[in-house]
Structure 1
C-alpha cells in the first residue's frame, strides 16, 4: 500500500470557519470540539465579529473568509462549514473558492426538511436575530421560494446578550429556557410548522429541550455536520 503525503497533519475531516468571538461555547456548540465524535479543524477569521457578520452583513469579509477556507483546504480538511448561519450570504463565494464541499449555514437543510413535510406544512426557522435574517440570506442558499416561518431571539435577555453582544458569561439554564419559549411560541402561533431548523450555531446545545417541548424534529448545524462527515469519511 502506498499513501500520499505533503502535509504536516492528518485526520481532521471537517474544517470550521469561526467568527471572531469571546463568548462561552458549551458542549453541543459547533465551536466546542468535544461536540463531535471525530476531529475537526478550526480557523478563526480575525475581525469577523457578530456585529459585522450578523448585524452588518459586511461584504468586506468575503475575502478573509475565502482565504481562510483555502487555508483549511490546504491543511487537509475534506469539507468546510462555519460557526454562523448568517454566512449563508457567502455560500456561493466560498463554494467557488475551493475544491471541497462547503456548507456555510444550517439553512441549506431547509429544502430537505420541507420535502419531508405535508404540502400544507411549513419549515420553522429559529434565528439569533430575525430583523437581520433577510432575503439576501435566503437567496444565498436557495430557499427564498420555500414556505417558512421565522422567529428570532432578539427580544430575549440572555441569549442575544451573550451570542450577539459577546457577554463572556452564559447562564445556560436561562438561555435554554429562552430558546424553548421562543420555539413554543412559534409553533403555537403557527401550527402548520412541521419541522424546525436552527439557523444559529449556538442553539444546538438546546436541541433536545426544544424537540421535547414542541414534539417536532429539529435540524441544526451539528446534525448537518455529522451528516456531511458520514458522506465524506473514507
Structure 2
C-alpha cells in the first residue's frame, strides 16, 4: 500500500511472474518494514528481461512507473537487476528517484574495501550479463562475475517462471555459486547479488563465504532511508 501520512513510499515495478515469492524476495510484501506498492508490467517475463535484453519493455515500464508515481510513490525500483539498462530512461521519464538494479551498489561497495580487494557479482545468468549492463550500473568492465545458469533449480524456476521452487536446493546452489566466485577470484572481498530473488539466501552466503553480501534489500533499504529519514525525539 501507499502511505498517505507523509512518509515516503517505494513503488516496485514487477515482472509478470508465477514463481513463489518466498520471504526475503523483493516481491513479498513482508520483506519490507516500510510501505511499498507493486505494479506488474504485463508481458515482462523473466526470460525476456534477462536473456532477451528487455527488448520492447521500456514503454510498458515507463507507463507503469507513471501509474505508481500518480498513486504517491516517491521512489521507484524494479524487480530485476538486468533492468539497469533502463536506469537513465526511467529516471528521465518518471521525475522521481529511480534505482533499477542491485548492481548499482558495486562501485560503492568496492570503494569500501581494502585496495587489494574487489566487489564480485553473483547473477542468475552470467551468460546474459553483458558489458552494457555493467556500464549502465557504473561497474568496471572487469568486475568478477559468477552465475547460476541453465541446469540449476534456481534458474529453472525463475527464468522458466515455474509455479514451484525447491527452496533448499536453490539455497545450496546460491551458496555453491558464491563459493565458486571466491575460488575463481580470490581478490573478491564482498559479493553483490544481482538477482532480486537471491535475497533469501544472502545470510547463508555470508555465513559460508565469510565476506559481506549486498543485495536489492540493502539497496532499497538505503534508498528508502533517504526518502523517509527517521525522526528522533528532541529530548
The question of a shared fold, defined as TM-score above 0.5 by the shorter chain, is answered with yes
* Partners of 1:141 and 1:93 in 2: CA distance: 13
CA contact (8 A) 2:3 2:35 kept: no
After superposition, residues 53-202 of structure 1 pair within 5 angstroms as 53-145=49-141, 147-202=142-197
CA contact (8 A) 1:156 1:178 kept: no
- Which of 196, 206, 216 lines up with 2:201 in the alignment? 206
- Which of 4, 21, 24 lines up with 1:10 in the alignment? 4
| 1:119 Cα offset (Å) | 1.9
* Partners of 2:203 and 2:3 in 1: CA distance: 35
- Structure 1 unaligned runs (5+)? 1-7
Q: Which residue of 2 aligns with 1:3?
A: none
CA contact (8 A) 1:13 1:78 kept: yes
**TM-score using structure 2 length:** 0.92
SS of match in other structure, 1:130: coil
CA contact (8 A) 2:81 2:103 kept: yes
SS of match in other structure, 1:60: coil
SS of match in other structure, 1:37: coil
Bigger mean CA deviation after superposition, 129-138 or 154-163: 154-163
- Which of 20, 23, 28 lines up with 1:24 in the alignment? 20
Count of residue pairs brought into register by the alignment: 226
SS of match in other structure, 1:110: helix
| 1:97 Cα offset (Å) | 0.6
CA contact (8 A) 1:13 1:76 kept: yes
| 1:155 Cα offset (Å) | 4.1
- Which of 183, 199, 215 lines up with 2:210 in the alignment? 215
* Partners of 1:153 and 1:170 in 2: CA distance: 15
| 1:58 Cα offset (Å) | 3.2
Q: Which residue of 2 aligns with 1:4?
A: none
Backbone CA RMSD of aligned residues: 1.5
* Partners of 1:75 and 1:206 in 2: CA distance: 32
Bigger mean CA deviation after superposition, 190-199 or 133-142: 133-142
Q: Provide runs of 4+ in structure 1 moved above 3 Å.
A: none
